[in-house]
Structure 1
Amino acid sequence: MSNNAMVSRVENGRVLVLEREFSAPRELVYRMFKEPEHLKRWWGPRGWELTVCNIDFRPGGIWHYCMKCMDENQGTFYGMESWGKGVYKDIAEPEAIAYTDYFSDADGNSNDEMPATEVTMEFIDLGGKTKLVNRSEYVSAEALQSVMDMGMLQGITETWDRLEERLNEVK
């Protein structure tokens, strides 16, 4: 697998599995997901920035964030805000992070009209490189399809491209 090749597959109709290898040590890749100063530099698709990123990185803790489109070339998306909230379930540093991901509002209230996601990320040490395996489980195949229709796969591909760029800056 080349550094920028993401592998994706759907299991049981409602679990999206994404895998990608990064040319950075596991501890560094893991830090990119737990420290706001790093997340602010790469989280979100191209043209979007994290304008809010509050993290309480512990089981039961909350990650509340806002992605805002800063790219005028993105037409009607320009200026749009997308709020999200993660509630951490399990943390095994530097091997894994599990959390429930919600669409939310600026106050952190979950949007129950949008599907929540059970996310498990596994960080596999490949001797100086890291394989990231992200499993996103939805309540139904329809819920998974709804986020796919929103362009989630393109968004996560661009997000992980930005992660790779950030890793190259700091290693």
Structure 2
Amino acid sequence: MANQLTTTIEGRDFILEREFKAPRELVFKAFSDAEHLKRWWGPRGWELTVCSVDFREGGIWHYCMKCFDERQGDFYGMESWGKAVYEEIVNAEKIVYTDYFSDAEGNETPGMPSSRITMTFEDRGGSTLLVSRSTYESEEALRQVVEMGMEQGIAETWERLAEHLASQQ
């Protein structure tokens, strides 16, 4: 499974799995540290222009992705704000949070679906199996984000993560 993203939809759940050729502690840190996130979060052509991380239970990650790739047409110059509220953190093993579309002030965007995400990090002897399970309020809410291109965006984002992890070893 190394370097291959597997996606599954089960009812209201969107499940992603990928094995990364990096130690579990490094993969976990890439999701919990702003300096790491700034280097890989978002699809190709997008960068984090804002990245505020309070990585603790009850803490908030607030960020802005901006498209800097002119070849992406109407997306060029677009900003996409997001907010995560951390619910449970088990060092190097698990992160549970609720993920929201937001505005620059961190207010949830009306009409946009949120999801509760559970990410697990499994040690595979020098590599890490990352499993992300996003649960939406309804199958319609999940369909909405899939139709927005979430699967391609995550595939590109996790590919950038793999490149970042390789550069850190």
Q: Return the TM-score normalized by structure 1.
A: 0.98
- Counterpart mapping for 1:1-171 below 5 A: 1=1, 3-11=2-10, 13-171=11-169
Cα distance between partner residues in 2 of 1:64 and 1:7: 27
Q: Look up the equivalent residue of 1:167 and give its one-letter code.
A: L
Matched residue of 1:94: which SS?
Answer: coil
Matched residue of 1:128: which SS?
Answer: coil
Q: Look up the equivalent residue of 2:61 and give its one-letter code.
A: W
Matched residue of 1:110: which SS?
Answer: coil
Identical aligned residues as a percent: 63
Cα distance between partner residues in 2 of 1:73 and 1:7: 27
Q: Look up the equivalent residue of 1:67 and give its one-letter code.
A: M
C-alpha displacement of 1:112:
2.6
Q: Look up the equivalent residue of 1:153 and give its one-letter code.
A: E
Cα distance between partner residues in 2 of 1:75 and 1:164: 26
Q: Look up the equivalent residue of 2:157 and give its one-letter code.
A: T
Matched residue of 1:148: which SS?
Answer: helix
Cα distance between partner residues in 2 of 1:131 and 1:32: 14
Matched residue of 2:16: which SS?
Answer: strand
Q: Return the TM-score normalized by structure 2.
A: 0.99
C-alpha displacement of 1:28:
0.3
Cα distance between partner residues in 2 of 1:19 and 1:36: 23
Query: Deviation string for 1:25-63 (max 9, x for gaps)?
Result: 000000000111110000000000000000000000000
Cα distance between partner residues in 2 of 1:92 and 1:116: 22
